Amino acid sequence: MDNIKWTKKDLLALSELSKEEIELILETASSFKEISTREIKKVPALRGKTVVNLFYEPSTRTRVSFEIAAKRLSADVINIIAETSSVRKGESLIDTGKNLEALKIDIIVLRHNSSGAAHLLARNVGVSVVNAGDGWHEHPTQALLDIFTLKEKFSKIQGLNVTIIGDIAHSRVARSNIWGLTKLGANVCVCAPKELLPQDIEKLNVKATTDIDEALKDADCINVLRMQLERDERSVFPSALEYFKQYGITQERINKLKRKILIMHPGPLNRGVEISSEVADGENSLILEQVTNGIAVRMAVLYLVSQAK
């Protein structure tokens, strides 16, 4: 692994990474994980660097996770929430990026509601851009922390059966997971009502089904996605109750499988919509471990992109 070097200025999408690059991030994360268990949770790796969290969409988990990750590496962190910045005065994403660059910052962590926004920014600034979720496109650090968590549990990803359930059509988490998992050799199945399965998804080397029993049958782990009800512009989504009945992950459904199955969820949870409290809080739930691992993975990403230049 030592012969693999990180060369990319940015982390934009897992679709653009090689298997080796993904493994390098995971290994780097592994070595960073211990830092968060120390009495003094800080190393000087990014001392003197400035990380800007530029968020155009509401987010608590991801923003705080990036902020903690940067701080544990001793970087200075600035948070910009678009609603309270000059974005409201009509400034373009590129202008905002160029102004941040002129302020001599080092890394922009971007969350944006438009697919491709991270690519647009990365093309137009010299500083590193880390995609913290762009539209429906990708959320690479979320998938990396999901895969990291799986790797801790199963020791390898190759041959693992992972099922992603929920609103695949509008999910950047699903897309990044599909890329990351398939590159590492997992068998991925996506499951959703037909209206939430995007066109030609099986061409990404995944199995697609509307049948939840079929999707759960061989799964070692399921990644339960949040119903993104706020994206339902044309009222095509099933109602919350209807969805829970058909696709909700309940203890009853898990018990029927007669084998251990691990549960992940990228958060925030809609209890009683896509998952029952019993399962979310149950012994096979990895949900809070995911959150913890998010710090190590984001530390690894910030560290690697800062070393690329």
Partner 1 sequence: MRIIIKEGFIVDPINNFLNYADILIEEEKIKKIERKIEEPADLTILAKEKIVLSGLVDLHVHLRQPGREDKETILTATSASAKGGITTLLAMPNTEPPIDSEENLRLLKEIIKKDAKVEVLPSCTITLKREGKELVDFKRLKEEGVFVFTDDGSSIEDEDLMLQAMLKAKKEDVLLFLHCEDKSLSHKGVVNLGIISTRLGLRGIPKEAEYKRIERDLKLAQKTDCPIHITHISCKESVELIAEAKKKGIRVSCDTCPHYFSLTEDDLLDFDTNKKINPPLRTKEDVLAIKQALREGIIDCITSDHAPHTEHEKEVEFENAEFGTIGLETELSVAITELIETKIIDWKKLGELFCSNPAKILRIERGSLSPGKDANLIILDPKKEWVVRKEDFLSKSKNSAFLGKTLKGKVEYTIYKGKIIYEDKK
The residue count for binding partner 1 (CB under 8 A) is 26
Stretch that binds partner 1, among 37-45, 90-98, 145-153, 223-231 (CB under 8 A): 90-98
Examine residue 146 and tell whether it contacts partner 1 (CB under 8 A).
no
Nearer to partner 1, 135 or 238 (CB): 135
Stretch that binds partner 1, among 30-38, 113-121, 145-153, 268-276 (CB under 8 A): 113-121
Applying CB under 8 A, which of residues 199, 211, 258, 283 lies at the interface with partner 1? Answer: 199
Examine residue 114 and tell whether it contacts partner 1 (CB under 8 A).
yes
Examine residue 272 and tell whether it contacts partner 1 (CB under 8 A).
no
What is the spatial distance between Cα 171 and Cα 247, in angstroms, rounded to a whole number? 16
Applying CB under 8 A, which of residues 74, 79, 85, 115 lies at the interface with partner 1? Answer: 115
Examine residue 87 and tell whether it contacts partner 1 (CB under 8 A).
no
Q: Specify which residues 207 forms β-bridges with.
A: 189
Count CA atoms within 13 Å of residue 238 on its CB side.
19
Quote the radius of gyration of the chain (alpha carbons, Å): 19
CB 105 within 8 A of CB 52: yes
Applying CB under 8 A, which of residues 21, 23, 106, 138 lies at the interface with partner 1? Answer: 138
Tokens of 99: 């102004």
Give the single-character DSSP code of 124: H
Examine residue 172 and tell whether it contacts partner 1 (CB under 8 A).
yes
The least distance separating partner 1 from the CB of residue 273, rounded to whole angstroms, comes to 22
Rounded (5°) CA angle 300-304-306:
120
Nearer to partner 1, 46 or 189 (CB): 189
Q: Could you report how far apart the first and last alpha carbons of the chain are, in Å? A: 20
Nearer to partner 1, 55 or 244 (CB): 55
DSSP letters spanning 54-114 = EESS--SHHHHHHHHHHHHTT-EEEEEEGGGSGGGGT--HHHHHHHHHHTT--EEEEEESS
- Binding map of partner 1 across residues 10-49, x = CB under 8 A, - = no contact: -----x----------------------------------
Give the single-character DSSP code of 226: P
Where on the chain is the footprint of partner 1 (CB under 8 A)? 15, 92-94, 112, 114-117, 119-120, 124, 134-138, 170, 172, 175, 198-201, 203-204
